[in-house]
Structure 1
């Protein structure tokens, strides 16, 4: 991906302080736990070890955003972490224009552990969206795991895909899809409601990629074919079948929570090819075969 040095960045969309969890939300209860639980299951982690309702570990003191210095595209060359501001600004600008009901939220970065409205989480969970406090939580160390442990090629576009996927969950929360999935009992398996939720978020990420360079004032000035290939590669790397094969040496489709590598590639690609969120209906009867 290439960036316009002259474009402005808005670091106010990025956070870095811990937040206290809501005592009303416990593990497995309420819409706020859905996304975190399925991500924990995806990585083969016991959700009880990484997400705790109630008090959890005490959060550290709130801090000012570590991205305050990221005010222009040129800052990405001086501080690579500023690219996350560019991704966040671009993703939210797209959805604000595409969906009149979109509400801007924060990306809160953390290291090690964090207290959220969905409970206390550790880095083992990976990036996640918490509906209870409408925040995307991002441990920047995850991207090393994406390449070293999960085998993705990596790169800026792969990282942008992960972030855009989490914002897709925010869109699902706003339009009620997430609550419907929780109400359905969710379940697991290749055609389960939980997998459909994740694949739709992948498709929404692809839609954003389609429009990432539409705004001439945006910091992202170019998305190449190699970038798209890296995003699709990252989607495949976090497929349930790929992760299960690496972790256990066998694939058990009935336990899938996010979809196979092929499914994730397919829906990310569909979003990019169409550029239309309406074409991301993974809940249609014949959407998954």
Structure 2
């Protein structure tokens, strides 16, 4: 993934908040990865995570000045936070062209914990979208966990896939798709799984069209897409359950299997058409 050196970045779409320490070592999230997945589902549906964790985050200090350090595509190639800015800029250039009445969403990069309109969350949640404040929240340490804990290849485009997925949730929120999954939050055919797979497909559709946003030097390569597929596979419900619990329980699925996540990202990428992403019609 290579940005055009002279591409102009809009850092106003991304905020970098300061760093802090969580009292007592962190918010209590029971049940290993199953608990983490439940917390992510809570955030997607706008439930206060504090109702699950019973915790509140500590205050944090000031964040980075992105406007000073993230100005061009060259900055995005050399700095991880600037790369996030570039990816967000591309995604938010793409969606107004294909989704009527699209409204921009801010991304907040945080460290360890964050307060949101959906409640308090810590870094164990991973990246998430809060519909109550229409904001994507991203702790960059998650991408290291993808490699070290879940066996993903990592790489810049793994990050881009995750960001694209979270903005897929923003599109769903604007379209009212979230309502189709309410009250149906677990199980292999659940509304929650269908919602997540659709967000994967939306990420793929953006990836196919990202070059047209004018920020990238060339279309994404097979190596880039392989990084995305590796990340998608690593965060499948079956893969996470097998790694953390030693067994697979489909009744606890919230995001879809590794194979399903790869399938739906690929569907979006190969078609380049978000209209091909209707995971609520038929089998998945």
**Alignment coverage as a number of residue pairs:** 263
TM score, norm. by length of structure 2: 0.86
CA distance in 1 between partners of 2:232 and 2:108 (Å) = 22
Any unmatched runs of 5+ in structure 2? 19-32, 43-47
What SS does the corresponding residue of 2:218 show, helix, strand or coil? strand
Could you tell me which of 177, 187, 190 is aligned with 2:188? 190
List 4+ stretches of structure 1 deviating above 6 A. Answer: 45-48
User: Matches of 1:46 and 1:172 in 2, distance apart?
Assistant: 19
- TM score, norm. by length of structure 1: 0.84
Distance 1:65 1:130, change over 3 A: farther
Q: 2:6 is matched with which residue? A: 6
Q: C-alpha deviations, 1:28-74, integer Å up to 9, x for none? A: xxxxxxxxxxxx747467779x9215993354366564454111011
Q: Equivalent residues in 2 for 1:162-181 (5 A)? A: 162-181=162-181
2:76 aligned with 1:76: yes
Asked if 1:214 corresponds to 2:212, the answer is yes
Q: Answer yes or no: is the 8 Å Cα contact 2:66–2:82 preserved in 1.
A: no
Distance 2:73 2:257 in 1: 36
TM-fit CA distance, 1:164: 0.3
SS of residue matched to 1:75: helix
- Aligned counterparts of 2:175 and 2:234: Cα–Cα separation in 1: 28
Of residues 61-70 and 258-267 in structure 1, the stretch that sits farther from structure 2 once superposed is 61-70
CA RMSD of aligned residues (A): 2.3
The answer to whether the 8 Å contact 1:212/1:220 transfers is: no
Q: Which residue of 2 aligns with 1:31?
A: none
Q: In the superposition, relative to structure 1, how do residues 189 and 140 fare at CA in structure 2: closer, same or farther (>3 Å)?
A: same
Deviation per residue, 1:152-173 (Å, 9 max, x gap):
0011111100000000000000
Contact 2:2 2:77 in 1 (8 A): no
Equivalent position to 1:230, from 227, 230, 234: 227
Q: Does 1:93 align with 2:93?
A: yes
Distance 1:97 1:150 in 2: 35
* Distance (whole Å) between structure 1 residues aligned to residue 65 and residue 248 of structure 2: 41
- Higher normalized helix content (fraction of residues): 2
Within 5 Å, which residues of 2 pair with 1:1-289?
1-17=1-17, 41=34, 43=36, 51-52=49-50, 56-57=56-57, 59-60=59-60, 63=63, 65-66=65-66, 68-182=68-182, 185-215=183-213, 217-219=214-216, 221-284=218-281, 286-288=282-284
